[in-house]
Structure 1
Amino acid sequence: MQYKNLGRSGLKVSQLSYGAWVSFGNQLDVKEAKSLLQCCRDHGVNFFDNAEVYANGRAEEIMGQAIRELGWKRSDLVISTKIFWGGAGPNDKGLSRKHIIEGTKASLKRLDMDYVDLIYCHRPDSSTPIEETVRAMNYVIDKGWAFYWGTSEWSAQQITEACSIAQRLDLIAPVVEQPEYNLLSRHKVESEYLPLYSNYGIGLTTWSPLASGVLTGKYNKGTIPSDSRFALDNYKNLASRSLVEDVLKKVNGLKPIADELGVTLPQLAIAWCAANPNVSSVITGATKEYQVEENMKAITVIPMLTPSVMEKIEAIVQSKPKRPEAYR
């Protein structure tokens, strides 16, 4: 496993990480979570991602209990959570000072930890001034409840505003953004965020490298396996939007490239994300140990992605966004 700095910060995160979205609390209990987490650690993963909204908080409880029972040394781990959707009440969601502080304390209680290494603002909040959010995140860091903070699915303009406010007030700016990034979803990472990397040292921990499983090829026959994410009631809408003919044709087109390299489609797709120099860590998901084993082998695929292989991949997916004139 390789370890990369999280943006311009000194924090080192494993190039591949593991996220609890969908799986913990919806598909897996503590016992199963323990075996998956241990499998990740055996492959050198040190970064584990969560959020207050995952399984309505149950994902944090499962991760916290699993880590406690595994007896891991806390300083060996990088644990993150995300704040935005904390409940049904008017102040249980968003990025107000009230919810950030109360939500963070509630997350730590569920995780049974004194601190998380990294805390994200899970979405932008148009109803709260960004200055209020920046000040609240700094309060969380000052209290020792988190060491770093970041954003998830914010626009480049919003991140720039947060960094500018932090600079003006001599506060800590966000160090990381967590966007969706895969062969089918590239605009933010490869176009919109370009100025953020050099201007503010923003790193990326990207999610959905397999496009919710579409890039594994398991949906190519037009059927949805009963144990897959798209079989869950909450994700049936996503399935109908994702499993379109054009997308499945591209996935089929990538198969020969993977075969030529002697790797699987998921390994190719994950390695492709990790090969982007602006990506600090690719967050993987899995519900079974063999999936973790397979995903982790993507590390060995990264050196195989020569310029000619990347060109072949591009010729199939044809998803490269146009770079803004100013950044060419």
Structure 2
Amino acid sequence: MTRIGISDLDIFPLSLGGNVFGWTADRETSFAILDAYHSGGGDFIDTADAYSAWVPGNTGGDSERIIGEWLASRRPENVVVATKVSQHPEFKGLSAKNVRAAAEASLQRLGVDTLDLYYAHFDDATVPLEETVAAFGDLVSDGLVRYTAISNYSADRIREWVGLARAAGSALPVAIQPHYNLVHRNEVEEQIVPIAEEFDLSLVPYYALAAGFLTGKYRSTDAAGETSPRAEGASKYATDHGLRIIDALEGIGQAHGVSIAATALAWLRSQPAVAAPIASASRVEQIADLLDGARVQLTAEEISELTEVSAWSPARV
């Protein structure tokens, strides 16, 4: 198990992404995915109030509702659910009033009394940061939220958030959720990891498998022309450099008897400040690879090999 920041949240070191629930996974499939993840030892589920408002016919909160129905049906013990605020169609932004209303709506959809981990999903420059920080602190003081966290914020704004919370004696964030994986490293490693280490914040990276590219599905540079709903995000990495990363993952994975995806997750788990990568599954058959990714231990040499082959600079593109 892994502890998130300075919190008492001890979690399985792989978070199940709920972005697909109500989108590429219907209710029945979502339940099967959650069952497989939990029966395999998983206990850390990530979602957001906006998931999946972009799907025709959905309203936002769709993922939370499915997770809430699963929690009510299965009544699992010690499951940690993280959700986020700022992007729901009815609860846009991070004003104090909106943060409170969105949290109450998330609590109702999830069917819980307290949100374990509550993220500011995206920075909101239209609201003074003091107001947002105070609103999150009040949620903790009032028992609606156990711990607060930050997603998609710059290092400077994270530092400012922590400073404001300290000055006010308010709840300090315990985690940062950045975009981080083997093909998207520089910004996080140069700017976010140092501040996470300075303030004892854990990283819970999203896009841990680069929208599917790091599963090895795209093994040719010809894949760059793919246009299916989820393929566009992944296929852009199908460059010569990206394919060298896949080849290295495959070789190392074979030595451990695990998949390319599991190996990519294991590398990310090994990085400074990372507590648990987030990865989603649209089919129950994909869960085994995610569970492997939480357990396989790469050698120092294997980690170095992947770090070296994935090193990126503008001159190489």
Q: TM-score, normalised by structure 2?
A: 0.89
Matches within 5 A, 1:2-151: 3-21=1-19, 23-55=20-52, 56-73=60-77, 76-87=78-89, 92-151=91-150
> Is 1:308 aligned to residue 301 of structure 2?
yes
Alpha-carbon distance in 2 for matches of 1:312, 1:258:
12
Distance 1:316 1:61, change over 3 A: same
Please say if residues 34 and 70 of structure 1, whose CA atoms lie closer than 8 Å, have aligned partners that are also in contact.
Answer: no
Alpha-carbon distance in 2 for matches of 1:298, 1:241:
23
Letter in 1 for 2:31: K
What's the counterpart of residue 175 of structure 1?
A: 174
> Is 1:254 aligned to residue 249 of structure 2?
yes
Distance 1:295 1:240, change over 3 A: closer
Distance 1:61 1:156, change over 3 A: same
Matched residue SS, 1:318: coil
Alpha-carbon deviation of 1:29? 2.3
Distance 1:273 1:11, change over 3 A: same
Please say if residues 212 and 234 of structure 2, whose CA atoms lie closer than 8 Å, have aligned partners that are also in contact.
Answer: no
Q: What are the superposed Cα offsets for residues 233-285 of structure 1, whole Å, 9 maximum, x if unpaired?
A: xx465356444454234323432333344321101100001112411111121
Please say if residues 268 and 298 of structure 1, whose CA atoms lie closer than 8 Å, have aligned partners that are also in contact.
Answer: yes
Distance 1:166 1:65, change over 3 A: same
What's the counterpart of residue 55 of structure 2?
A: none
Alpha-carbon distance in 2 for matches of 1:282, 1:180:
10
Alpha-carbon deviation of 1:81? 0.6
Letter in 2 for 1:59: S
Letter in 2 for 1:247: G
Please say if residues 180 and 206 of structure 2, whose CA atoms lie closer than 8 Å, have aligned partners that are also in contact.
Answer: yes
Please say if residues 6 and 13 of structure 1, whose CA atoms lie closer than 8 Å, have aligned partners that are also in contact.
Answer: yes
Alpha-carbon distance in 2 for matches of 1:67, 1:241:
36
Please say if residues 314 and 320 of structure 1, whose CA atoms lie closer than 8 Å, have aligned partners that are also in contact.
Answer: no
Unaligned stretches of 5+ in structure 1? 322-328
Unaligned stretches of 5+ in structure 2? 53-59
Equivalences, count: 305
Alpha-carbon distance in 1 for matches of 2:223, 2:154:
35
Alpha-carbon distance in 1 for matches of 2:262, 2:231:
25
Alpha-carbon distance in 2 for matches of 1:138, 1:262:
45
Alpha-carbon deviation of 1:312? 2.1
Alpha-carbon distance in 2 for matches of 1:104, 1:250:
40
Letter in 2 for 1:167: R
Distance 1:210 1:320, change over 3 A: farther
Please say if residues 95 and 128 of structure 1, whose CA atoms lie closer than 8 Å, have aligned partners that are also in contact.
Answer: yes
Q: TM-score, normalised by structure 1?
A: 0.86
Matches within 5 A, 1:112-261: 112-221=111-220, 222=222, 231-232=228-229, 235=230, 237-239=232-234, 241-261=236-256
Q: What are the superposed Cα offsets for residues 131-153 of structure 1, whole Å, 9 maximum, x if unpaired?
A: 10010001111221110000001
Alpha-carbon distance in 2 for matches of 1:236, 1:299:
25
Please say if residues 205 and 276 of structure 2, whose CA atoms lie closer than 8 Å, have aligned partners that are also in contact.
Answer: yes
Letter in 1 for 2:171: I
Letter in 1 for 2:15: S
Alpha-carbon distance in 1 for matches of 2:23, 2:196:
35
Letter in 1 for 2:24: Q
Alpha-carbon distance in 1 for matches of 2:76, 2:256:
36
